[in-house]
Structure formats: structure tokens, C-alpha cells
Amino acid sequence: MPYVNIKITREGATPQQKARLIEGATTLLVDVLHKDPQTTVVVIDEVDTDNWGIGGESVSVRRSRSQAPTPRQPVKLHRAAVSGHCHRVELMLSLLGVPVDLVDVNLAKQEQKSPQFLTMNPFGQVPVLQDGDVTLADSNAMLVYLCQTYGNANWLPRDPVQAAKVQSWLSVAAGLLAFGPAAARARALFGRAFNAEEVAARAQGLFAVMEQRLAQQPFLVGAHATIADVANYSYIARAPEGGLSLESFPAMRAWLARIEALPGFVPMVHTAPKAVTP
């Protein structure tokens, strides 16, 4: 099978020259992969990963997007637009280009507790994903299903170590993120009975760890986006709605911008906080 190795030397090059070199390499590789799908290895040396590709998306990601299967009919996502758990699944669907019918669930009217809804998710929570005969009721499980069904190994690496790193960030999304920034937002927006100091402390601890990690690499698990980034994006992006400032975390804000630059990105709605008694 063909092997492609392109080396770009950056010494003495201006930023504009570097950008042209990278764009030229991108065009060349896309052409090679299009003409010979059996090409399996691409090595890029000395390329700034922040500038490589488009919005952090590698050539192999874009190649896989064009070859990924699509469902026979749009999948259904039962969601509430204000929920970050729901948005992470909507974002994943859009990044993968999977057709979707969004079914809004009125949480104020407790529609998620109706007998019909409980047949899909006995826990009475959104989101719920339906894809043909498949029904899933956990947002992180949905990310795994979607990237393995309609995506590629970039979103969830097959390498055991890299896969374990992704899984650790899914655990963060279900733990510190949910009971830190997400809880602070739920308290501010919906009057949920969380202790303000406790959730703020959890959030600040999480932000510190993420800031350190993202100061060293573009995405949570390395040079390109994975479902780890998708799982953690929504509640970090809307943390200010819970009274949590991101101003002191430049690397984290740059990470948010990189995700927002990915092809297919869709934003989460902004919601104005209501007054909450301390």
C-alpha cells in the first residue's frame, strides 16, 4: 500500500509562507487520497498542529467524513435545547453530517416523565436517540455509538492508550463537569438546589486542570478533536451562564474557539439566568 511522507521545513519562513506551505500540503494529500484510496499512512513532520488542516480537522478526518455511511432515514433526537447533554449529541450529529430530526421535549410540562417517553428511557431524562431499531438514553453512550457507526477512528481512537484517555474525559463529563459547571448553570437558570460554593469550587478545579492540559496541546487528547472534546464543550462554553468566568483561562477559551471552527459546528442556545436566592 502506498506510503506518503511530506516534510515541511519551517525554519526562516514567515507565518504567511507557513500557511501557504500547509495549505499546499493539504491540497496535495487530499488529491493523493482521492486518487488512491488504498493509501493508509500519512506522516506530516514539523507542522504546527494549530494551523494544520481546517479548524483542527486532519486530512484523514475529512477523507473519512466523505466516506462515512449515512442512516437510511434521519435519526431522531429527543432533546431540550437548553440542555448541554442534549447539545453534545446534536453537535456530534452535525460534525458527522448525520441527518437528524430534532424532537423538542417540554421539560416544564414534564413530558420526559410521560408513559410514552418512559418506554424510551425509564429514567425519564433527555436526550434520547433513536436510529432505526436502536434506542439510546445516555449522551456519552450516544457519542460512542455515533462516531463508531457514522464516523471514524479519529473521534474515538482504536489505540488502547488513546481510547483510555478519551474515556477518562467522558468520565470527567459525567462527573466533575456535571457537578461543577453544569450544576452551577442549573442553579442559576433553573433554581436547582445546589450549593453555590461547592459547585463553583469543583468548576474552578476542573478549569485549572483543563487549562494546563490545553496549554500543551490543541485538544483534550492530542492534536485533533475527539468525542472527549464534544462531551465537555457545551457546559464549558455556557459556564458564564452559571456565573463562572472563563477570562482567566486563555488556553481553554482558545480550545472552545477551535471546536467552534470545526466544519459542521452548531452552537448551543444562550439562556439568561434568573434571580436565585443564595
Radius of gyration of the chain (CA): 20
What's the CATH code of the domain at 133? 3.40.30.10
Q: Tell me which residue range forms the domain holding 117.
A: 75-150
How sure is the predictor about 18, in pLDDT bands with cuts at 50, 70 and 90?
Answer: low
Same-domain pairing of 183 and 100? no
Which among 112, 59, 64, 58 has a CA at the least distance from the CA of 85? 112
Model pLDDT, residue 272: 75
Asked whether residue 232 is domain-assigned, the answer is yes
Q: Worst-scoring range by mean pLDDT, 12-26, 32-46, 200-214, 253-267?
A: 32-46
CA distances from 196 to 168, 186, 200, 215, 232 (A): 26, 11, 6, 28, 21
Q: Tens digits of per-residue pLDDT, 108-157?
A: 999 999 999 999 999 999 999 999 999 999 999 999 999 999 998 899 99
Q: Are 147 and 155 in contact (CB under 8 A)?
A: yes
110 and 184 share one domain? no
**Percent of the chain scored above 90 by pLDDT?**
70
Report if residue 273 sits inside a domain.
Answer: no
Residue 95 pLDDT: 97
Residue positions annotated with a catalytic role: 2
The count of structural domains within the chain is 3
